[in-house]
Amino acid sequence: MAVERSPEVVFFNPWDRLIGPNRYLVEILRHAPELARRSLVALPIGTDARDEYLDLGCAVVTWPEMALVHPRITPRHLTHLLGAHTFGLARVRRRLRKLAPRVVVSNSESLWLGGMAARSLNIPHVQIFHTLTFEDRLGHRPKLLATYLRFIASWNRRVVGVSHAVEQALERHGVAAAKLATLPNPLPRELPADDPQRVPELDSLITNHKPLLLCAGRISPMKGQDLLVEALPRVVEQFPQLLCCFAGRVGSADGAEDTVGFMRRLRQRIDELGLGASIRFLGECDYLPDLLRRADLYIQPSRTESFGRVVAEALLCETPVVAFAVGGVQETAGPGGLFAPEGNVDALSAAMLESLTQTERAHSRTVAGRRHVLDHFNGDHVAQQFLAILDELISPAVPAGDRT
């Protein structure tokens, strides 16, 4: 696609669907329309996210070099890594030199090309960290983790975490505090209403089941669906008509985690526990707000979580939240969550039962949580913070003696 204007900011964006990191950037640009019109977004392939950026007034290009760097070592990933960071890097540098942006932003910690190309051209670069997987994967090897983060930080003027938990983890493992900032997920005041014609199966799905539990996220060990399955038998004993819906896609066998194998083991364990009638896998859903509004409880059983956007969305829908106390989830839910110690399945069961039986107390928590989300993750405020970071990088340094 030809670019008709020279963008002020180029966003390198490897996400191929309108999932969390894309929604993060879309919401920032939605609340900063002037920035959107001065921006170019580079995607690896054309997706539904492309239309969102075009609707906001961004220029959009498809650069296949933008694909994620996968931590899992396979011949295919190594081939991509080598090609992207040799000939691919040269192509990206040529494009950036022609575009001459004032700032480059990589909307992922798993993308190196943007920082490498920007540094080689002396263009300020910002890297956004959406996850804590760097600590989860390499935390047992602190020297290697520190080396990896120093490698990434070397091409960044600023490193942005989507929660204080991410920022603190980065600083803990050696990224200079002066480079760090927290920009949380921006959220709307109200989630859009869903067209009932798009989700007619929901009524038939929940007619004979009460309560309705919901867990959303990619089916993977990191998201901890197996821990929730282990916690369910005790809850089903008290609520035999319970239905727990898992919303999210499985992924592939050669990603960072073998999600295909995980799903196979998960189904086997569900059969062993006799939970087949109490669990439904919905696949990837585009109607989460409707599910959240209908659910009696939202559960986030993640082993690690940088922010937990669906936790905030559940509270906006006034749905009680139960989660493990990991990463940034407590920060996101504030007083709106009921938390179990990390990985403690019995405590998770107890928290679920408390929320389902002590409904007035759960409602009070949820109301407080909704207020917390509205106060702390306001889209206008987050966008202004992001613009301040860009302005700091774009504006020439002011000599100390000239400051007022």
Secondary structure (DSSP) of 237-274: HH-TT-EEEEES----TTSSS-HHHHHHHHHHHHHHTT
pLDDT at 68: 75
Task: Quote the pTM value.
Answer: 0.89
Alpha helix locations (H) across 157-258?
Answer: 164-172, 201-206, 225-238
Distance CA 190, CA 22 (A): 19
Pick from 351, 397, 375, 385: nearest CA to 128: 385
In sequence order, the 6+-apart residues with CB closer than 8 A to the CB of 272 are none
Pick from 387, 389, 321, 309: nearest CA to 356: 321
Average pLDDT over residues 302-306: 94
Task: HSE, CB side, 13 Å, CA atoms: give it for residue 159.
Answer: 26
Instruction: Report the range of poorest mean pLDDT among 4-8, 137-141, 242-246, 330-334.
Output: 4-8
The answer to whether 387 and 32 have CB atoms below 8 angstroms apart is: yes
Q: Of 3-17, 180-194, 381-395, which one has max mean pLDDT?
A: 381-395
pLDDT at 248 over 80: yes
**Region of 57 on the Ramachandran plot (φ > 0 left; ψ -120 to 50 alpha; else beta):** left
Length of the chain: 404
pLDDT at 399 over 50: no
In sequence order, the 6+-apart residues with CB closer than 8 A to the CB of 25 are 11, 13, 41, 107
pLDDT at 256 over 70: no
The torsion angle over the Cα atoms of residues 119, 123, 124 and 130, rounded to 10 degrees, is: -70
Question: Is cis: bond before 211, omega within 30 of 0?
Answer: yes
Average pLDDT over residues 269-283: 95
pLDDT at 201: 64
Average pLDDT over residues 110-125: 94
Domains in the chain: boundaries: 9-186+378-396, 196-376
Instruction: Report the range of poorest mean pLDDT among 63-67, 168-172, 227-231, 264-268.
Output: 63-67
pLDDT at 1 over 70: no
Q: Could you tell me the pLDDT band of residue 402, with boundaries at 50, 70 and 90?
A: very low
Distance CA 57, CA 313 (A): 26
pLDDT at 233 over 70: yes
Distance CA 49, CA 122 (A): 29
Report helix, strand or coil for 72: coil
Q: Could you tell me the pLDDT band of residue 66, with boundaries at 50, 70 and 90?
A: confident
pLDDT at 78: 66
The answer to whether 159 and 129 have CB atoms below 8 angstroms apart is: yes
Q: Could you tell me the pLDDT band of residue 401, with boundaries at 50, 70 and 90?
A: very low
Q: Could you tell me the pLDDT band of residue 197, with boundaries at 50, 70 and 90?
A: very low
CA atoms 286, 292, 296, 302: torsion sign = positive
pLDDT at 202: 66
pLDDT at 199: 54
Neighbouring CB atoms inside 10 A of 177's CB total 9
pLDDT at 403 over 50: no
Domains 9-186+378-396 and 196-376 share a fold: yes
pLDDT at 83 over 50: yes
Average pLDDT, the chain: 88
Q: 27: part of which helix (H) or strand (E)?
A: helix 20-30
Average pLDDT over residues 81-98: 87
Distance CA 89, CA 227 (A): 41
pLDDT at 397: 44
pLDDT at 312 over 90: yes
Considering only residues 5 and 195, tell me which one the structure prediction assigns the higher pLDDT.
5
Q: Could you tell me the pLDDT band of residue 398, with boundaries at 50, 70 and 90?
A: very low
pLDDT at 341 over 70: yes
Average pLDDT over residues 35-41: 96
Distance CA 159, CA 179 (A): 6
Q: Which CATH number applies to 9-186+378-396?
A: 3.40.50.2000
* CATH match of 196-376 with 1.10.150.120: no
